[in-house]
Amino acid sequence: MGLEHALGDSAFTTTIDSAINWCRKNSVWPMPLGISCCGIEMMAFAMPRFDVSRFGAEVFRFSPRQSDLLIVAGTTTYKMATVVRKIYDQMPDPKWVVAMGACTSSGGMYRTYSVVQGIDQFLPVDVYVAGCPPRPDNLLHALIMIQEKIQRGESRSTPMTVAAERAEKQQLLQIQGINN
């Protein structure tokens, strides 16, 4: 992801990798998309009792350009889906998505004409949180799972590892060599 791409693969860079990932995971800046009832539990998750700032994530920036975790909290309707997709596209790489609640995971209790049956129909989702609404402890567990994912260096938005990218470049060079 990002910086490590430029340096390539070696023992030196894997240590830098894990150091950078450690820094990244302990300062996740979430972008809350509090649409409906789950938004209230997300606010509670940021408040004194279920404090999220002990995990380094209390900086709720409402601007997508400055955040790396998108928490979609609340029922997503078809009208709102274009807005959510626009916000996701504006976030810089690497980014992660948490689908909070039953409504975002699968449409929830609303099997109606205007509710999208799960945001994974138009967004790549990393963690699904069950509940209607999920307790704030549940959302903290999701945040910890995201932190573990970051430590391992996985991100849905940058699908290729460094080795795969190098292999693809070699293939392209071979094809160009044949054409020449």
Partner 1 sequence: MDIRQQKILAALENKDTSVHFDDALDNQMILNMGPQHPATHGVLRLLIKLDGETVVACVPELGYLHRGYEKLAENVSYHEFIPHTDRLDYLSPLMNNTAYVLAVEKLVGIEAPKRAQYIRTIISELARISSHLLGVGALAMDIGALTVFTWTFREREKMYDIFELLTGARFTTSFTRVGGIAHDMTPEVKTAITGFIDQFPEKFNDCIKMLNTNRIFVERLEGVGVISKEKAVAMGMCGPNIRGVGIEHDLRRKEPYLVYNELDFNIPVFYNGDSLSRYYVRVNEVKESIKIIRQCLEKIPDGPVHANEPKKVLPRKERVYTKMEELIHDFMLINFGVNPPVGEVYHAVEASKGELGFYIQSRGEGHPWRLKIRSPSFMNLQSTPLLVEGRMISDIVAILGSLDPVMGEADK
Partner 2 sequence: MIQNVVQKLQEKFSPRIISVNEFRGEFTVVVKKEEIVSLCLFLRDHEECQFDYCSDLCGADAYTPENRFEVIYNLYSMSLNHRIRIKVFVDESSLHCPSVTSVWPGAEWPERETFDMYGIVFDGNNDMRRMYMPEEFEYYPLRKDFPMMGIPDSIPLPRK
List of residues 6+ apart from 79 with CB closer than 8 A: 114
- Residue closer to partner 1, measured from CB, 1 or 70: 70
Helix (H, G, I), strand (E, B) or coil at 96: strand
Q: What is the DSSP string of 42-77?
A: HHHHTSSTT-SGGGT-----S-GGG-SEEEEESPPB
Write out the H or E segment, with its range, that includes residue 108: none
Residue 44 interacts with partner 1 (CB under 8 A): yes or no: yes
Q: Which of 37, 43, 50, 124 binds partner 2 (CB under 8 A)?
A: 124
Q: Which of 81, 149, 151, 153 binds partner 2 (CB under 8 A)?
A: 81
From the CB of 85, what's the least distance to partner 2, in Å? 4
Stretch that binds partner 2, among 23-31, 39-47, 52-60, 76-84 (CB under 8 A): 76-84
Q: How far apart are CA 46 and CA 76, in angstroms?
A: 22
Binding positions for partner 1, rule: CB under 8 A: 33-37, 39-41, 43-44, 47-49, 62, 74-75, 77, 79-80, 83, 87, 109-110, 112-115, 132-133, 135
